[in-house]
Structure 1
Amino acid sequence: MKHLKLAFAAVLLLFSVQSMAAGFYFEPGVFYESGKATVDLDESEATTKGLGADLKLGMHFVDSMLFVALDGTYSKPKFKHDNTGYEADAVSSTYGGVIGVQTPLLGLRLWAGYVFGGTLDPDESGVFDVKFEEASGPKVGVGIKIFVVAINFEYMDLKYKKGTGNWGSFPSLDDFGNKVSMVSLSIPFMF
């Protein structure tokens, strides 16, 4: 995992150095997420659904076709666990990096990246109060830019390595997985 992070940082730096003549890339957005989560211990399921904000910040080059960016998300989904009836508002955040292309063909945009960290923290509800940390996993996206607005679909396959809190009789909350689909509207700025 350390080697993957170092390789991604090296690629990010290499593209950033080569792109000095091209410019700055900034893309704020809002999204709706829908996640399907699993607890490996008992193979139970949970869902996350809600609104959030996304920000990509980096460099573009090669006539604004390629971009490299740091990527962060913040959302307030509703967390529901099927087996226990645990239902609560939550706060979720992730950070990582992406490398992508924006084609001149119909404004088609494609990117791939990796989430290096993040948390999912549902509020306390009854006897339940948990927090999932140390998220990581791949992220991919596709979108279409129409004039100045982009309509996007993203997918993250997250694994949270550390789970803490009170979840009934479960002795461990580690290895919590969440497969998250996001539909977003964003405004890509390339200066």
Structure 2
Amino acid sequence: MRNLSILLLVFGFFVSTHAYAGFYIEPGITYEKGDNELEWPTPLGDSTGNTKGLGANLKLGFHYESAFFVGLDGAYSQPKFENSASDYDADAKSTLYGMILGGQMPHIGLRIWGGYIFGGELDPDESGGLDVKFTGAKGPKVGLGFKIFMVSLNVEYMDLEYDDTNIEKAGPLSGEIDNKLKNKLGVVSISLPLTL
């Protein structure tokens, strides 16, 4: 009986606040720059590199009283992937998806959020006979935005680690890659937060 009372109380709360809550969608255009590191097998060894390029982002979620929001977050980009191992230099495709939770001050326009990337991949094209694909992206993300009229200017930071490295073409490599690619990624974006 006590659990039923609590359930009715929670249900009543959400019904009474329904007018103050709603769905939102936020498409955006992004530019990313990342610094990565990976230990390759013999003969390449330790390496560092970077990614940079344009992409798109989509947040889809639920807001409460235009002050708090929670949502799903997905991104697609086509960065240039460069790595010191065998002078790897190739175009790449990147996808990331995760979840965010944040708050905003509607009258001031300041927005802040944090979240976690649950999955994604980075797939550079072949370079110098070597072709790899990084999958299983995971890591935290934080963001800061400022909304001016209908547009939000944003900065995000992600500390990503890719669980698996798949060698699609071995080139000069003589073994498997057991280590994880680490990519510290900064993203600037222009987005359009829309309340439905």
TM-score band w.r.t. shorter chain: 0.7 to 0.9
Deviations for 1:40-75, whole angstroms, at most 9, x for unmatched residues? 4543101100000000001000x2111100000000
What 5-or-longer segments of structure 1 have no aligned partner?
1-13
2:76 aligned counterpart, secondary structure = strand
Q: What is the alpha-carbon distance in structure 2 between the residues aligned to residue 163 and residue 188 of structure 1?
A: 35
1:174 aligned counterpart, secondary structure = coil
Q: Does 1:133 align with 2:135?
A: yes
Q: Does 1:183 align with 2:182?
A: no
Q: What is the alpha-carbon distance in structure 2 between the residues aligned to residue 126 and residue 79 of structure 1?
A: 13
TM-aligned CA distance change 1:180 to 1:167, over 3 Å: farther
Match of residue 4 from structure 1? none
TM-aligned CA distance change 1:124 to 1:86, over 3 Å: same
Q: What is the alpha-carbon distance in structure 1 between the residues aligned to residue 135 and residue 171 of structure 2?
A: 15
Match of residue 27 from structure 1? 26
Count matched residues.
Answer: 175
Q: Does 1:52 align with 2:86?
A: no
Deviates more, 1:95-104 or 1:17-26: 17-26
Letter in 2 for 1:183: V
Match of residue 4 from structure 2? none
Largest Rg, 1 or 2:
2
Q: What is the alpha-carbon distance in structure 2 between the residues aligned to residue 65 and residue 40 of structure 1?
A: 44
**1:164 and 1:173 in contact (8 A); partners too:** no
Cα deviation for residue 128 of structure 1 reads 0.9
Letter in 1 for 2:118: F
**2:49 and 2:83 in contact (8 A); partners too:** yes
What RMSD, in angstroms, separates the aligned Cα atoms of the two structures? 1.9
1:39-188 paired onto structure 2 within 5 Å = 39-41=38-40, 42-61=45-64, 63-104=65-106, 106-165=108-167, 166=170, 168-169=172-173, 171-172=176-177, 174-188=179-193
Deviations for 1:69-103, whole angstroms, at most 9, x for unmatched residues? 00000000000112311100000000000001111
Letter in 2 for 1:26: I
Deviations for 1:98-132, whole angstroms, at most 9, x for unmatched residues? 00111135200000000000000000122110000
Per the normalisation by structure 1, the TM-score is 0.86
Q: What is the alpha-carbon distance in structure 1 between the residues aligned to residue 76 and residue 49 of structure 2?
A: 19
Cα deviation for residue 173 of structure 1 reads 5.1
Q: What is the alpha-carbon distance in structure 1 between the residues aligned to residue 182 and residue 171 of structure 2?
A: 16
Deviates more, 1:98-107 or 1:127-136: 98-107
**2:66 and 2:106 in contact (8 A); partners too:** no
**2:95 and 2:120 in contact (8 A); partners too:** yes
What 5-or-longer segments of structure 2 have no aligned partner?
1-9
Match of residue 36 from structure 1? 35
Q: What is the alpha-carbon distance in structure 1 between the residues aligned to residue 34 and residue 178 of structure 2?
A: 18
Runs of 4 or more above 2 Å deviation: 17-21, 40-43, 166-171
Cα deviation for residue 20 of structure 1 reads 4.9
